[in-house]
Amino acid sequence: MVYYLIVCRSLTYAQRGVRLLERAGISAYLVRAPRLIAQAGCAYCVKVSSRWLERSLELMRGEHLNPRGVYQQLENGDYEEVEV
């Protein structure tokens, strides 16, 4: 399964995002951003499956939880930034 990491501006924003998505019935997980994508020190992400990416971004933007970036987790373990 393909997963996406929605990079948030802070731990609090990531926590709010996970709660928001779970209330909407979307499975979401709070994870530390891998070093490959953490641009400024430590960062936190909301991890969602590809099935829920668009809806998750829509809900988060509606609550002003705008992502810093979105990355696709590749099969080899690397990450690739995606435009959304």
- pTM for the whole thing? 0.89
Res 70: pLDDT: 95
Q: Are the CB atoms for 5 and 37 separated by under 8 Å?
A: yes
Q: What is the pLDDT of residue 47?
A: 96
Tokens 């530390």: give the residue: 32
Look at residue 37 in the predicted model and tell me its pLDDT: 77
According to CATH, the superfamily of the domain at 3-81 is: Hypothetical protein rpa1041 (3.30.70.1530)
Local confidence pLDDT in tens for the 84 residues of the chain: 789 999 999 999 999 999 999 999 999 999 998 877 766 567 899 999 999 999 999 999 999 999 999 999 888 888 899 987
User: In the prediction, which pLDDT does 39 show?
Assistant: 65
Q: Map out the domains of the chain as residue ranges.
A: 3-81
Q: Kindly state the helix (H) or strand (E) to which residue 46 belongs, with its residue range.
A: strand 44-49
Q: How many CA atoms lie within 13 A of 17 on its CB side?
A: 31
Instruction: Provide the Cα torsion 24, 71, 73, 22; round to 10°.
Output: -10
